[in-house]
Structure 1
């Protein structure tokens, strides 16, 4: 089994982008992402909520064939407003979506980081592991940037009203 620990950060509001997203909009988007992951992460095919009680969501996600780290995952999701959302999978894989201020502390300097601890029992050390790590790094970047883009589109079209 191989464990990969990696993270990717992207600026939420780079120069020239509109609308400028704020914490409440981003948080509303992340809450929607918990329940409708396929709208935000291109490698996720479906997301079925099993339970949603007291701020803890249990869900089953299915990845598009050959694109995810595995075929599917059962996750327990906890939110820590306004800073992060934690996704813990049955196999010990752990993902955290973090929203943070940059040095200026202004909305134009907000960042989103996705932190991943992938536990992959079907991968062994060596060349296959290196290829998988490169693939997962690309997937991580795409997941962050896609999530930001989708939240911005939802604010534009009124699906997020904060």
Structure 2
């Protein structure tokens, strides 16, 4: 078994994008992402909410064949407004979606970071080639997850699914 830890950060409101996203809009998007993950992350095929109680969501996520870290995962999701959302998987894997200020402290300097702690039982730590290959694949997946989530939130603000 190997544990792979990685993170990816992207600017939420780079120069020239419209509309500029606010913290409440980003938070609405992240709350929707908890319940409809497949709308935000291209490698997720489906997301079924099993329980939504007292601010804690338990869900079952299925990944597209060969594109996720596993075929499916049961996750317990907790939100910590306005800074992060935690996704704890039954196998010990952990994902955190973080919204943070940059040094300028303005909306133009907001960042989104996804932190991944993957537990991969099918890869031996001693299999360096397999570990490097999986790490490269997961780095690409993490970049796509962050950037597509921001894009989808922006599109939802544009079309009114998220309030302006």
Q: Considering the TM-score relative to the shorter chain, is it more than 0.5?
A: yes
RMSD: 0.5
Which residue of the partner structure matches residue 4 of structure 1?
A: 4
Which residue of the partner structure matches residue 142 of structure 1?
A: 144
Q: Using structure 1 for the length normalisation, give the TM-score.
A: 0.99
CA distance in structure 1 between the partners assigned to 2:101 and 2:66 by the alignment: 35
Is the partner of 2:134 in helix, strand or coil?
Answer: helix
Q: Using structure 2 for the length normalisation, give the TM-score.
A: 0.98
Report deviation, 1:86.
0.1
Number of aligned positions between the proteins: 162
Residues 145-160 of structure 1 correspond to what in structure 2 (within 5 A)? 145-160=147-162
CA distance in structure 1 between the partners assigned to 2:3 and 2:75 by the alignment: 18
- Is residue 109 of structure 2 the alignment partner of residue 109 of structure 1? yes
Report deviation, 1:54.
0.2
Which residue of the partner structure matches residue 62 of structure 2?
A: 62
Report deviation, 1:87.
0.1
CA distance in structure 2 between the partners assigned to 1:10 and 1:39 by the alignment: 19
CA distance in structure 1 between the partners assigned to 2:17 and 2:67 by the alignment: 29
Report deviation, 1:124.
1.3
CA distance in structure 1 between the partners assigned to 2:122 and 2:30 by the alignment: 30
- Runs of 4+ aligned residues of structure 1 deviating over 3 Å after TM superposition are none
Which residue of the partner structure matches residue 73 of structure 1?
A: 73
Residues 26-105 of structure 1 correspond to what in structure 2 (within 5 A)? 26-105=26-105
Structure 2 residues not aligned, in runs of 5+: none
